[in-house]
């Protein structure tokens, strides 16, 4: 049974990081003293759950964490600095701080260094997250001790819900666009004016018209999808924004 370390100070270790082809040593005090920090730790860089779910969602929600007084969101893994830097670039996770726990000293100090020899991983961190204020652990979400790689409670949404129980999550928005489309430009402008982040997929770069017909039964551009719902073209998007009072608020400001 993993020990809950809430109320304890974090382990005093030195992380060997790599910046601009130089070694930069960071100790625990430098990283946590006087700050409110969210940390999530996971079994390994480039591994499936870590890359497809854990890191991307934390990276997406960094603005929400910062709006609630969190200074930094840190991803820890028992990997070396070169691997962690390449993984961060591959994930486009520039909002996060990636810390290499290459020797497993931090994970061991947390009591969460486990054997993954059956997978050829050696010693790795168990998956968990924690909120650290001025070097003291306020809250921990440790995955249950069950076979495999459980991922139930250390996710970004659970941590954000703890910090801001009544807060609203940001919308998940994707725009299917094509180059040279003025309505697409308008749609992107409306979303930016409303302060809503979005992912843009460009025709014949990221998808073909076959994909658009398959997911939207449409051939006009843009096509907006928000929180799992097809909104439609730029006029439909404008209507959705007005219904949510984004455009009215922007005009009033």
**So which residues are the catalytic ones?**
50
Stated as kind and residue range, the H or E segment containing 17 is: strand 14-19
Q: Which residue has the tokens 């726990």?
A: 101
- Which of 131, 99, 47, 27 minimizes the C-alpha distance to 142? 131
Q: How far is CA 244 from CA 171, 232, 236, in A?
A: 12, 16, 13
Rounded to an integer, what is the distance from CA 4 to the centroid of its chain? Answer: 24
Q: What values do phi and psi take at 211, rounded to 5?
A: -65, -45
Stated as kind and residue range, the H or E segment containing 193 is: helix 182-193
């Amino acid at each position: 049974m993993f020990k809950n370390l809430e109320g304890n100070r974090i382990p005093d270790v030195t992380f060997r990081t790599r910046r601009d082809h130089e070694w930069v040593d960071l100790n625990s005090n430098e990283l946590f003293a006087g700050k409110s920090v969210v940390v999530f730790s996971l079994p390994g860089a480039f591994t499936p759950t870590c890359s497809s779910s854990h890191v991307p969602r934390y990276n997406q929600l960094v603005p929400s964490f910062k709006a609630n007084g969190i200074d930094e969101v840190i991803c820890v893994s028992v990997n070396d600095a070169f691997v962690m830097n390449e993984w961060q670039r591959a994930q486009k996770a520039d909002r996060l701080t990636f810390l290499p726990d290459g020797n497993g000293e931090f994970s061991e100090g947390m009591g969460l260094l486990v054997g993954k020899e059956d997978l050829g991983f050696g010693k790795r961190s168990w998956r968990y997250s924690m909120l650290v204020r001025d070097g003291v652990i306020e809250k921990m979400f440790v995955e249950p001790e069950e076979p495999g790689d459980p991922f139930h409670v250390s996710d970004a949404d659970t941590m954000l819900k703890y910090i801001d129980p009544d807060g609203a999550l940001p919308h998940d928005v994707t725009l299917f666009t094509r180059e040279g489309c003025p309505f697409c430009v308008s749609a992107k402008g409306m979303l930016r004016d409303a302060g809503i982040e979005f992912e843009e997929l460009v025709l014949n770069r990221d998808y073909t018209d076959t994909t658009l017909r398959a997911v939207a039964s449409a051939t006009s551009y843009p096509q907006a999808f928000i929180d799992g719902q097809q909104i439609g073209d730029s006029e439909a998007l404008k209507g959705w924004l007005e219904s949510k009072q984004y455009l009215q608020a922007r005009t009033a400001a």
